[in-house]
Chains A and B, each alone.
Chain A
């Protein structure tokens, strides 16, 4: 009968062909699944990037709609790279980057090392310590501004309590000397847990038998720390530094809420400077060139760093 013939035919069809008849091929599914993501990124990331590159060669101002942008070649780049004020912004960014990373690595690693002593309840305390890093940086910046108020702020009060100074005698946000440190303190408060978590994962990845072997060889605890712990955690630590480096190079929300770049431009990190050029002075072409320079810098530094990281991992 036709029915059984059809059945027999179905059974005889190779699996692959049968699947193709029933559904789409794997290849087609792969493309259907990946395409929307790629399309979205092209539309909202790559197209804007290309547009920024194009704008960076013009003197376009986004607040003047009826004026045609003029092509001015590399003039914007020239102006940025020879502008001494921008180097001041770069210096402020470098200060911020260096100290936040140094402090976060130091405190974060120490905390991870202590937590790894596996005292009772360490999970609970780890969860509590981690809380600040998940919060909105803008809101965090805003409430730290309250803590930093010279007369009424809790931070000034506590510092004054321990140093014996008048709480109103120093302004964390208002003085040229202290403002760069005030942003370092808040960023460290917020992001130390990040470094800590990654270090903790590193410490926990070290198998016990390595220490046992070292103990058999009568290596001192100090020696074990420098020849086992540090080298084994290093790749993790470097990864943490990479993430913090990229994030803090982009830093905007926290600092804009805390100091707004002030006093003067002492805490005006490159992102804040860029925002001023682009959305306050409306020098769109100039700001685009600036954005490209920043992007190339991050990308370049990150790529070099990733190479170094891979070398450490291979060891």
Chain B
């Protein structure tokens, strides 16, 4: 028998708490589960009443998401038999696939801009965080607060001059423009989080390296960087998720070449209004990576969402 502890909840209260939390978790998952299910429905199943929980799964939503299709005459359809399973699915509607949709392109833009801005914010952020953590910088607190305060502005307010500035510089609707913009937004998070992580690495390590004849710079990248690797990785994931999810700047500053997925997904139009299974398929593909990253990140989650203010 274990020792009696006043702070250890009784078995009954554990059961009670556990069931309530699980109930909440299950309810909160319904919308997500529903959208993932809808991705595998046919358009008529998706809008049936009462809502269908049991249905015949189809990849139609995914096919519609990735392709553009046109309606064809019976003669044409008979003369050109379907070549693969995707063709067969659209044949049911007397249609043929004429090419890829814009979704792949938009998704790729999200990847390029997401990784580009993450790399840049981590690169700049690590340097700045190291300097703030190790050196006496005049007005360091004010500078750090200034870096944080840039996050308080509503994105639309910042977007007005950025829109004008980018128009003059030819950066509107370009990957580079979006990468720079997201880096500027993310850098505050990167500096604050990374400073916290680097603060936790004992200075003695570097001092030992300096005495051994390393230069300050060598000590930075041979001693501090490897020690901060976990912190850098989790900060990078936070930056990536932000850039991945961002909508306001993307919808205002991009339209064609550099448009990311969030402004695009809601505009997927099918025959007779929104094609909900295709929208759901797009949302699923778009949200899954973030969910996986969230699970990987769970230990540093709290730190990331509070800019390092709360550490566990």
Q: Which residues of A contact B (CB under 8 A)?
A: 15, 19, 22-24, 26-27, 29-34, 36-38, 40-41, 43-49, 51-52, 55, 62, 111, 114-115, 117-123, 125-139, 142-144, 146-147, 149, 151-154, 157, 167, 189, 194, 197-198, 201, 204, 208, 211-212, 215, 236, 239, 243, 246, 249-250, 252-253, 257, 270-271, 274-275, 278-279, 284, 287-288, 291-292, 294-295, 298-299, 302
Contacts and interface: CB of A to CB of B under 8 A. Distances in A.
Given A40-B124, A142-B279, A278-B160, A147 B31 contact: yes
Nearest to A279: B252
Contact of A249 (B154, B251, B301): B154
B64 to A, nearest CB: 15
Contacts of B246: 136
A44 to B, nearest CB: 4
Nearest to B303: A201
A-B complex: 8 closest residue pairs judged by Cβ atoms: A23-B215, A291-B157, A119-B18, A48-B161, A138-B247, A44-B184, A136-B245, A117-B17
Contact of B187 (A22, A41, A111, A236): A41
Interface of B: 5-9, 13-15, 17-18, 20-22, 24-25, 28-32, 34-35, 38, 46-51, 124-125, 127-128, 130-132, 135-137, 143, 146-147, 149-150, 152-165, 180-181, 183-184, 187-188, 191, 210-211, 213, 215-218, 220, 241, 244-248, 251-252, 262-263, 265-266, 276, 279-280, 283, 286-287, 290-291, 293-295, 298, 301-302, 305-306, 309-310, 312
Contacts, number: 291
Task: Determine chain A's interface SS by DSSP, over half rule.
Answer: helix
Nearest to A253: B247
Contact of A197 (B49, B130, B156, B305): B305
B312 to A, nearest CB: 6
Given A30-B137, A198-B302, A278-B159, A128 B6 contact: no
Given A44-B162, A51-B161, A275-B156, A36 B124 contact: yes
Contacts of B14: 117-120
Given A38-B128, A43-B184, A236-B310, 4 more contacts: A51-B164, A123-B298, A143-B279, A294-B154
A23 B135 CA distance: 16
18 contacts: A19-B210, A24-B215, A34-B137, A45-B150, A114-B17, A117-B9, A121-B18, A129-B21, A132-B28, A143-B279, A167-B49, A198-B302, A211-B7, A243-B305, A252-B156, A275-B156, A284-B160, A295-B157
B131 A119 contact: no
Contacts of B46: 152
A208 B17 contact: no
B22 A125 contact: yes
Chain B CB count within 10 A is highest, among A120, A131, A142, A143, for A143
A274 B153 CA distance: 13
A135 B293 CA distance: 11
B177 to A, nearest CB: 10
A176 B36 CA distance: 30
Contacts of A43: 184
B73 to A, nearest CB: 32
Contacts of B31: 132, 143-144, 147, 154, 189
Given A40-B124, A55-B160, A114-B21, A239 B306 contact: yes
Contacts of A131: 29, 32, 291, 294
A138 B263 contact: yes
A257 B23 CA distance: 28
B127 A37 contact: yes
A38 B139 CA distance: 13
A134 B136 CA distance: 36
Chain A CB count within 10 A is highest, among B21, B34, B150, B215, for B21
Contacts of B35: 143, 146
Nearest to B293: A134
Nearest to A153: B51
A36 B127 contact: yes
B9 A118 contact: yes
